[in-house]
Every structure is written in C-alpha cells, then in structure tokens.
C-alpha cells in the first residue's frame, strides 16, 4: 500500500515571499504520478501541478514548481511570489493505475498554508 506523508501541518509565509511545502511517499511501484491539490476555504479541490514519475524534469506551472527526487521519494512544492489567494490547504497525492482505466489517488493529510499580508 502507498503512503503519503506531509510533515508540516501548518505553515505561513509573507506575501511576495517564497515557501516550500514538503511531501514524501512510500511505494514499490515504478510507474506512478504525483500531484499537488489546493483546497481554499471554498472547499473546492483545485489541481495545482502534476508530475509523471518517468519524467526527470521537474514540473512547473507559473509560480508553482516541484522538486521531484524519485530515489528519495520526495515531492516538494515551491510557491514563488506568494499571493493572498494562495491561502489554502495543500494536499500531496500519489496516483497509480488500478485497472480498467481507473486510477487510485492516495492523499497526504495536508498542509495548511497562510499567506500574511
């Protein structure tokens, strides 16, 4: 079974600064995907970024980038130029194929990020 660990229950960052959220995972799979999802107070789950395990290049989406270390099973999220709208719970998730076009997501417990004006 896969496990995903987010060791920082809460973090805060000053507006315009950079923050890094940590995530480690445990798996015996070789082919998998990793995600970061954001859940603001509105409750909506929003995809932030996706990384395929077979790709060595770190994924980037505007101000969001990841540091994917496959051997260390680490997948951290860096948010640059933090904005007030980045205040949310951030969930790291591991995904593997479960057969017949279905994929199983395993989530970490989340990191609550507060951006301070």
Partner 1 sequence: DTAVSQTPKYLVTQMGNDKSIKCEQNLGHDTMYWYKQDSKKFLKIMFSYNNKELIINETVPNRFSPKSPDKAHLNLHINSLELGDSAVYFCASSQAGTQYFGPGTRLLVL
Binding site for partner 1 (CB under 8 A): 33, 35, 37, 39, 43-47, 50, 89, 91, 95, 97-107, 109-110
The nearest distance, CB 4 to partner 1, in angstroms, is 10
| CA–CA gap between residue 73 and residue 88 (Å, rounded) | 24
Contact predicate 94/32, CB 8 Å: yes
**β-bridge partners, 94:** 34, 106
The nearest distance, CB 2 to partner 1, in angstroms, is 12
The nearest distance, CB 45 to partner 1, in angstroms, is 4
Question: Is 72 or 100 the residue whose CB approaches partner 1 more closely?
Answer: 100
Residues ≥6 apart with Cβ < 8 Å to 44? none
């Amino acid at each position: 079974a896969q496990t995903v660990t987010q060791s920082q229950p809460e973090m805060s960052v000053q507006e315009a600064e950079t923050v890094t959220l940590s995530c480690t995972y445990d798996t015996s799979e070789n082919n998998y995907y990793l995600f970061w999802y954001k859940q603001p107070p509105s409750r909506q789950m929003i995809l932030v970024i996706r990384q395929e395990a077979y790709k060595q290049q770190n994924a980037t989406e505007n101000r969001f980038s990841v540091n994917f270390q496959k051997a260390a099973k680490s997948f951290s999220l860096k948010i640059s130029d933090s904005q007030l709208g980045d205040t949310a719970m951030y969930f790291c998730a591991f995904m593997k194929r479960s057969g017949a076009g279905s994929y199983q997501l395993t989530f970490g417990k989340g990191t609550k990020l507060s951006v301070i004006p």
